[in-house]
Structure 1
Amino acid sequence: MKRSLLIFGALAALVVCGLVLAPLLVPQKQLKAQIAESFETATGWKLRLDGRTSVDLFPTLAIEVDNVGVAGVARADGIEFARVEKARFELNSLRLLTGGNIIRNIELVEPKWTLEFDQKGDASWQPQLSEGEEGEASLVAANIAGRVASFMQQLDLDTVSIQKGVVSYSEPEQEAPIVLSEIDLVLNFEHDGDGLTAEGAFNQSEERYVVGGRVGSVTALSEARATSVEAHVTGPTQEKVRFNGQLAFGARPVGTLQVSVELPSLAAVAAQHDAAFPEGVGSGALTSELQFRQRGVRTKDLSITAGSVGFGGTIALNYLEDGYELKGQVSGQSLNFEQLLRLVGLDAPASGFANVDASFYGVGQSYDELVAALEVDGGAILRKGRVADIRLPDMLAVEGRDEALDDMDLTFVFSGLSQPLQLQGTARWHGEPIVLQGGLRSDANIDLAFSSEMFSGSLTGPYSLRDGFDGIFAFQTDDFSNFARWYGRPLPRYLRGQKLELSGQFEADDSGVAFENARFVLDDTSLKGTGRLDTGEVPKLSGELEVAHASFDKMFSRSDEKNDKGEGAYDFSVLRSFDLDLALSIQDLKLGALRGRNAELKAALSDGRLALDVARVGLYQGEGAGKLLLNGATVKPGISAEFSLKGIDAAPFLASLSDMPRVDGNLYAEMDVNTSGKTPSDLWVNMGGALSFQLGNGMLHELDVDRLVASVGGKGITGWPFTDNDQTEFSSWGADVIFDQGTAEFQALTLQSKTALVEGRGAINIKDGEVLWYLQPSLLDQSKLDDEGAATTQTADMAPLKIRGSINLPSFEPVDVQEYASASFGDVKQTQKLSEKLAKDLETAKTVEEAQRLRAAAARDAAVASPEAAKDVAAEPAVLAQPSAEDNDVTTASVGDGDLPPLAEGAVANTDTSKVVMPVAKPGEASTPAVAATAPKKSRVIAAPKRDLKRRDVVPRGPGNVNVEAVADGTADPDATLSSLEEAFGMPAGFLSD
């Protein structure tokens, strides 16, 4: 007995060892070949198993193969539509000895399927048909799932599992492939029947979906016979899709399915597809029976609900020989208007009900063609609708008022492809009847117009649930001021007007409104550009604007009232109402009578201070450039200017500034001034800084300077000898002016006419109109006037003149040379930088040489007359010195941000504006007798009426002087005397003294 037990135990041990060692004795190539052959026979696909192979004994017997590939008919091109990083085949050890299918379970790790259609419509996964199956390609392709399931059943598998799989699907016209990733799926085969169940999950667009289902009979599935089918999908927001019914999967599926879709949150589902629904839109659901036939698919008992609204209808998709036909009908009665608004992305309280009845039809060879050719017919009606709580940007909203559209009676018509949706109807806005008309074009663009007796407008451009409206908004009214009063937002003075037109692309957010290609027209003012308006406690406008016409009169004044002098009051307080950061291009601009063109500038406004950096502005045939600061932060308006004028036509320019005698000529000027005040008179009285100007090749009308000089003689005269037909032609006229404490002090003034040269210096008290000028007239050498190559020379036989008294009725009298030489006004150093800058400007002017010679001589004269400045001014040169190298890049001081002083240091405000005088002008009827002038023609010597002083700076400068008394008693310096005579007669330096 013991021997029998030992023998039986030994045999058992040999059997166990055999079971363990048997797989090792079976060649791996034979196993892989058996698996590949079975797979290809059942499915028509080539299975490549040439990767690295390993065998596991525990916990179960298994073979692992790396880098597995699967190919169909496209294998000849070296294309495999499926690849697996690692395939694990669990084996049945007993069947290695007894025969039969040896694979129990299959595990695929990181498989990737690339499913593509080529331009011919062939699929990358098309299986290789065996002989006798020609003509069945469509059937085989449609029944691939059944073939795979049948193959697995033939292998008598228990499970097939997939880990971290990827499926990529694409078509030729598709923008991007559809990708399912992180696929985890388990297929279980029912041994007590013919069924197959599946459970798993996958990712799409970083969202996780759970899937499951069951096929009642794998055999029926593989043989294209009807079998029960059940499937379900659960999305990331718990949306659920279920299918349940009987289908036969042949060339086309045939059978019936019950379909149900549950969407707990329409807003969450829309967000997954980049669309925006309000949270209050609610849930959605769809139920229907899908009937699959050989000729197409149709719905039965279709029901669609979205929140509180429901639709019913039928849909049919028919198969054509070369495409598809889609048709159907959808209707809904007494639909909640508020819910309909939510479904188009608008969240606003609303009331009213609508009825919808529409049908659709389309034919195409693909889905895209089908949608593009879809025609919708029918319509919808809304009666007594209302939309409340309409939100407007803060800058347009009226505080404490709810915006609403009432009495909305609208008719929507669906008709054709070119205009798939048309709308027409009426509504009321704050009692104003409004007519609405427009629709949706085939290119998904809105074209909606609205109008009333008071205003009109339109919305044109694309609209989508994802991006909202991204088109052009337009609005216009023929009485803007009246519209603003009706609307409840009174306008500031500078925005009042009649005709308003507004258009552009606008995008509002919580902090403001961005605009692109916007156009704004108010009467004669128009602008266009791109930028942003930030709303807040102080609105800020930024961007780039092109202005066709700009008038600033109303912006800087509160009313049209004038004082007793006919002046309006300036008010810069508007600058505290908003901020600016703009690049401006202005075609035409107007400020009072001043006109400009083609201005290029940058405007920065903050805390009531407007800084203008003017690159260029065209002014009366010339141009200007520089920096301006308008200060509205202080009680009195303030202005600072660092500005250059070049080649200005003087007559219209000076006429735009004041009523004064006409002066023709080319004007060049450099200024660095500041002032403050509410009226033009105040601004002139409070002026500080310096000005340097030069007029060339001009004409002074109504005054003959040559005859005025001759009229003084040895007795002098009183009053201005104005005559309508008088005039003085001059080649140059210029001066340097210093404004200080209500006084304009003139240095280096020169005026050269055809026959005389007048030079000098002086001052005008702007507050009371008192003047004190010293002039040195000289007669030019008549013999050289017509010789262009000869130097201009002058005689010194005329006595200096002194002009004093009121600017309206001054006295002219001769004085001795000593008094003229000792007269001093202002500090030459204050205007030196401006004089040098002006000289540089004049280098390109036609009157350069003569103007520079006169200005250089006048500068030396002013330096000699001012002892403090004499030591800083050289006795030479003959022409005005150019700026030093270290000053070449230096400009006058930038406009600062500090408060402007109301008056110059130590000055007292002018309270009696009647004493403020302006430049001399053409006289009125009153006249005052004067000493008769010895002149070849008669003239009237009369008093000029009082006028405010602005630009009347007629005070000369001159070359060197000769002390006649010192020469007579022999005490004069011979070299200085000879040098002065050389300068006076235009001789070369050293002609007499060497």
Structure 2
Amino acid sequence: MKKILLSIGGLVLLVIAVLLVAPLFISLEDYKPEIAAKAKEATGRDLEIGGKISLSLFPTVAIEVNDVALANYEQGQNKDMVTLEQMALELQVMPLLSSEVVIDRFVLVKPIINLEIDKTGKPNWELEGTQAPANETATTENSESSDGGSGAGLSGLSLGDVRIENGELHFIDLASGAKEDIEALNLEISLEALNEPLSLDGRLDWKAETINLKADVANLESLMNGGSTALEASVNSSPVNFSFNGTAQQASAFALAGALDLDVPSVKGLTDWVGAPIERQSEETFGPLSVKGQLDLNGSVVAFDDVSLAFDALTAQGALKIDSSGSVPNIVAALSTGVLDITPYLPPETSGGQDASSESTSDGGGAVQNAGADQGWSDEAIDFSGLKSVNADLALKSEGVKIRKITIGVSELGILLQGGKLTADLKQLALYDGQARGKVVLDSSKATPTTAINFDLSGVQAEPLLSDSADFEKLLGTLSSKANLTTQGASQKAMVSNLNGTGDFIFQDGAVKGVNIPGLIRNVSLDALQNSFDEAQSTDFAELSGTYTIQQGVVNNQDLSMIAPLFRLSGKGTVPMPPKTLDYRLEPKLVGDLEGQGGDSGAKGLAVPLLITGSWSDPKVAPDLAGALTDQLKDPSALIEGVTSGEGGVKLPLGDGDDAGGVEEVIEKPKEALQKLFGN
């Protein structure tokens, strides 16, 4: 036995001696041509080893190769696809005897990888070496499947000093023009065993910014075999910071579940950095972005719960789910927000009011004119394709919305988008002391897009609404209105020309600023007409109402009615929207009736009609004296009865401005009344 042990010991010593001495007598330089030939056979590319090759077999298997280059394909922009300044690999010998791989050291120094796609779309990483025989492929697959999992064959893997130093990755696509460069890539990996924690720490330079990467995987073996493991990962850089803390699983699909924290100091800076710059209207926009929540990713489905989002001065909370497994992404979200001020994100307003070229003037005959010209409706096709690129079901609640000067209170909106059909259901909207509800349905799935709109306003204060939304400050009162409208077309012009529908409105306890209607009735001379339209004038009323129909873009109103003590106003006409014109007749009427709301809108009296014609920007207002005489003289007794209230005297409102409705003079003789009304 002693001799046997001595013999075995001597053999072991001899093997060790051979492993130590053999590399001293074997010149690996002689094998370079053979190594290059094998590489050519496997890849179809030339392999060049310009530096020294060293080999050590004991106490560890260590190999070092210097100055390696793998050629690019013939049409490549770069000579080589891969170059490597040095590769050093060191394995422990004894674990290899028990099918374990313990890597003490694996270092790649300055690897440079050039990835290219030529103009025909062919990538250079598709190698053209000799393919393995089918039976060999099958044998390999069978051996992999027999392991019972992708991690089974690597169960004895252990990584020590594994590093990439100063690596570079360059990508260019000649077909699309895309180009990316990653430089200063440094990566360190530590793994004592597959069932032990894996640590990854690295950094790289991309687009002149340094990005730091870090990841810790609790059990890589579990992840590789379809189980779950704890995962912490982070990305830190000046433009964006990201962190995740949760679990990961690689089963039928890759899955993540855990806390997500995204911080972007400047969205504008981020988009500029990635090469997709956005234009902003204000320095206050597209600034900080913060997203925090619970992430649940399972393959193509991403869900966020308990989301807290802050973007500039906007905030939101709720839940969001995105499913990209279909032909288009599907988004389901329920979000509540604070006050949303979207004004900073809108393009600048055109100059408000009228400029020097559009000031109101008189034609010298009492008609009010406007020198400006109306801009025509655009016939440029509206791109609705974005409505077909995503499906969505959104429930949005907001404490308020600000759009330029418009201030909206608490609101609730439901948005459903399916196959290019958008339904926006305004369930609640607090609007200037009143409420609004409505629905918009835009169907772009058809050859010709269609739109249906209905809304219901109640108790809305007209003056601030019209002032903030249209810079119109002439009408006061409490507004209630309904409308049901439909249209079709793919351009602004087509949609206006095809507009149809019905609606109604009523203003209560209001006033018309800038006009003295009793003054018009009292004196219809052309000078008086001009003077009655003045910013200092106003006319109070108890009620202003009407209904309208729209056919092919032409608004038709036949029952405009204003009721006020001592006068009435009626109107009828059309507003053709496609050409932006007016054809309207107003009929102010002096009556002997002090009633306001609830008064008889058809009370008899002396009417002084006004014709409003022309374009929207250049309307002409002129008295219809011929029409007035014709209508009134049909029944003189009724005229006298109407303006005297049966009391034998005519009551005339003689004041201006706020005093216009007061009865300041009673003229006993109808003749004198008519002379006073129509001038001397």
Give me the whole-angstrom Cα distance separating, in 2, the residues matched to 1:751 and 1:708: 15
State the match for 2:104 in structure 1. Answer: 333
What SS is found at the alignment partner of 2:270? helix
Q: CA deviation at 1:306?
A: 10
Name the SS for the 1:497 alignment partner: coil
Whether 2:607 is the aligned partner of 1:799: answer yes
Q: Residue 750 of structure 1 aligns with which residue? A: 561
Rounded to whole Å, the distance in 2 between the matches of 1:560 and 1:448 is 45
**Aligned equivalents of 1:937, 1:406: Cα separation in 2:** 82
Name the structure 1 match of 2:303: 514
Deviations 1:263-303 (A, max 9, x none): xxxxxxxxxxxxxxxxxxxxxxxxxxxxxxxxxxxxxxx98
Q: How many residues align?
A: 451
Compared CA separation, residues 796 and 695, structure 1 to 2 (3 A): same
| 1:534 and 2:345 are equivalent in the alignment | no
Query: C-alpha displacement at 1:525, in angstroms?
Result: 4.8
CA distance in 2, matches of 1:309, 1:601: 61
Is 1:726–2:534 an aligned residue pair? no
What is the identity percentage for the equivalent residue pairs of Structure 1 and Structure 2?
A: 18
Q: 1:484 is paired with a residue of what secondary structure?
A: helix
Q: For residue 502 of structure 1, what is the aligned residue in structure 2?
A: 291
Residue equivalent to 2:503: 691
| Residue pair 1:717, 1:811 contacting (<8 A) in 2 also | no
Counterpart CA distance in 1 for 2:531 and 2:509 is 23
Counterpart check, 1:612 vs 2:402: no
Identify the structure with bigger relative contact order (alpha carbons < 8 Å, sequence gap 6+).
2
Aligned partner of residue 707 in structure 1, secondary structure: helix
**Kindly tell me: are residues 797 and 437 of structure 1, through their superposed partners in 2, closer, same or farther at Cα, counting changes over 3 Å?**
same
What is residue 241 of structure 2 aligned with on the other side?
456
* Pairwise CA distance, 1:644: 0.6
CA contact (8 A) 2:101 2:158 kept: no
The alpha-carbon deviation at position 410 of structure 1 amounts to 4.9
CA contact (8 A) 2:568 2:601 kept: no
C-alpha deviation, 1:664, in angstroms: 2.1
Kindly indicate whether residue 185 of structure 2 is the aligned counterpart of residue 407 of structure 1.
Answer: yes
1:735 to 546, 562, 569: 546
Distance 1:575 1:732, change over 3 A: same
The whole-number CA distance in structure 1 between the counterparts of 2:269 and 2:314 is: 18
Q: 1:716·1:812 contact (CA, 8 Å) conserved in 2? A: no
Q: In 2 relative to 1, CA 587–683 (structure 1 residues): closer, same or farther, beyond 3 Å?
A: farther
Q: Report the 3-state secondary structure (helix = DSSP H, G, I; strand = E; otherwise coil) of the residue aligned with 1:798.
A: strand
Contact map agreement 2:188 2:200 (CA 8 A) in 1: yes
Which residue is 1:384 aligned to? 164
How far off is 1:399 after superposition? 12
Larger radius of gyration: 1
1:343-492 paired onto structure 2 within 5 Å: 354-355=159-160, 383-384=163-164, 407-410=185-188, 425-428=201-204, 430=206, 432-436=209-213, 448-462=233-247, 469-484=256-271, 486-487=273-274
TM-score scaled by structure 1?
Answer: 0.38
> In the alignment, what sits opposite 2:642?
none
Q: Does the C-alpha gap of structure 1 residues 600 and 454 become closer, same or farther in structure 2, counting only changes over 3 Å?
A: same
Structure 1 segment 265-280 matched on structure 2, within 5 A:
none
- Residue equivalent to 1:582: 394
Q: Shift of residue 729 of structure 1?
A: 2.0
Per the TM alignment, residue 440 of structure 1 is displaced from its structure 2 partner at its CA by 9.1
Q: Indicate the RMSD between aligned Cα atoms, in angstroms.
A: 5.4
Match of 1:208 in 2: none
CA–CA separation in structure 2 for the residues paired with 1:465 and 1:530: 25
Q: Give the deviation of 1:641 after TM superposition.
A: 0.7
Shift of 1:735: 0.8
The structure-2 alpha-carbon separation of the partners of 1:692 and 1:523, relative to structure 1 and needing over 3 Å to count, comes to same
Structure 2 stretches of 5 or more lacking a match? Answer: 1-93, 109-148, 170-175, 219-228, 352-372, 635-651, 659-680
Distance 1:698 1:682, change over 3 A: farther
**Cα offset, 1:694, TM superposition:** 0.8
TM-score where L is the length of structure 2: 0.53
Tell whether 2:602 aligns with 1:812. no
C-alpha spacing 1:661/1:635, structure 2 compared with 1 (3 Å): farther
Contact 1:459/1:473 (8 A) holds in 2: yes
Residue pair 1:675, 1:683 contacting (<8 A) in 2 also:
yes
Say yes or no: does 1:662 pair with 2:510. Answer: no
Q: How does 1:691-710 map to 2 (within 5 A)?
A: 691-710=503-522
Question: 2:667 maps to what in 1?
Answer: none
Give me the whole-angstrom Cα distance separating, in 1, the residues matched to 2:293 and 2:177.
26
* 2:593 equivalent in structure 1: 781
Q: Does the CA-based 8 Å contact 1:335-1:353 persist in structure 2?
A: no
Q: 1:599·1:618 contact (CA, 8 Å) conserved in 2?
A: yes
- The structure-2 alpha-carbon separation of the partners of 1:489 and 1:805, relative to structure 1 and needing over 3 Å to count, comes to closer
The 2-side partners of 1:473 and 1:449 are apart by: 10
In 2, the alpha carbon distance for the partners of 1:448 and 1:576 equals 35
* Alpha-carbon shift at residue 798 of structure 1 (Å): 1.1
CA contact (8 A) 2:158 2:191 kept: no
Aligned to 1:200: none
Partner of 1:984: none
Do the aligned residues in 2 keep the contact of 1:780 with 1:793 (CA within 8 Å)?
no
Measured after TM superposition, the shift of residue 652 of structure 1 is 2.5
C-alpha displacement of 1:598: 2.5
**CA distance change for structure 1 residues 688 and 795 in 2, over 3 Å: closer, same or farther?**
closer
1:810 partner amino acid: V
* Aligned residue number for residue 333 of structure 2: 543
Instruction: Return closer, same or farther for 1:697/1:425 CA change in 2, 3 Å cut-off.
Output: same
CA distance in 1 between counterparts of 2:257 and 2:441 reads 39
Which structure's residues are more often strand, by fraction? 2
Residues 781 and 794, structure 1, Cα contact 8 Å, conserved in 2: no
